[in-house]
Structure 1
Amino acid sequence: MRIRDFTDADWGQVWPIFSDVVTAGDTFPYDPAWPAEVAHEVWVERPPGRTSVAVDDGGTVLGTAKMGANRPGPGAHVATASFMVAAGARGRGVGRALCEEALDWARRQGFAAMQFNAVVETNTAAVALYRRLGFAVIGTVPESFAHPTRGRVGLHVMHRPL
């Protein structure tokens, strides 16, 4: 597996991943009714932010990440990132590789920390991964995500210094 910068030619493979993850409704607060054009606008970061893809040896996109400053101005020293992995590639280290690469990117860009603003508390695989990578839950906004089977659940704010 290799992680590289996203190109517009990748959208044809990223869009189905985005659509599947968002349609599942259990990890991202995005609208599943968004057309591909809106999803592209939301997911693909403009510089100085970055969007990346994890690809196998044949060029198949296994997952994608977006990263950049968490907030502008006085908050711009803290990075944020989001990750999506294709259903068939889960459990194979793709998410971990994307997150590690995002952390490395943020360090190289001079960010002081990385913060995830809305990690669904029932997304236990992601929460466990982020904890293993040094993130801590610094707060949970209760009942702020409408999970399709569990009802209203909390969103964690997770943070780690770089």
Structure 2
Amino acid sequence: MAVSFLRIDDRLIHGQMAASWIGSSPCDGIVVVDDDAAQNEVQKKVLLSILPSVKTWVFSIAEATEKLPKVIESQKRYYVVARNAQALSHLAAAVPQLRQAIGKINVGPLSKREDAIPVNKGQSVTPEEIPAFNHLAGLGFSIEFRLLPDTAAVSWEAAAKKLAG
């Protein structure tokens, strides 16, 4: 399996991700999918320098759509990280083999924002994100809200009930 971890995280790459997730599930590289980061040279440089021992790429959604099939076919293990559900929803629609490569999406930090509803500690969902999460679930992805490998997960189904209630 070339995509070993698929994550939504509004901080993209950070120490918590490196220490906890990469420590428990090693990878050969990280593919960051974010239009803003791909176009901002300063942000891109920071992301590329966070984990110097792990090869990292920063792609726009359009670039990732072209590159991801090669990543999926690779013998190496890659993390794919998007800043939000909308970006991952677009990517999954454009690259259907992503669902076959990995069936689970981990949702990391989604900071408190205006109109966002908390679904778990440190994880809030806005009304604009709900259709993207529903789309991903409809494609067959299992979605779990879990900040760290050793913490309890909240499923998308449970989060959606909380958002509707």
**TM-score normalised over the length of structure 1:** 0.34
Higher relative contact order, chain-length normalized (CA < 8 Å, sep 6+): 2
More strand by share: 1
More helix by share: 2
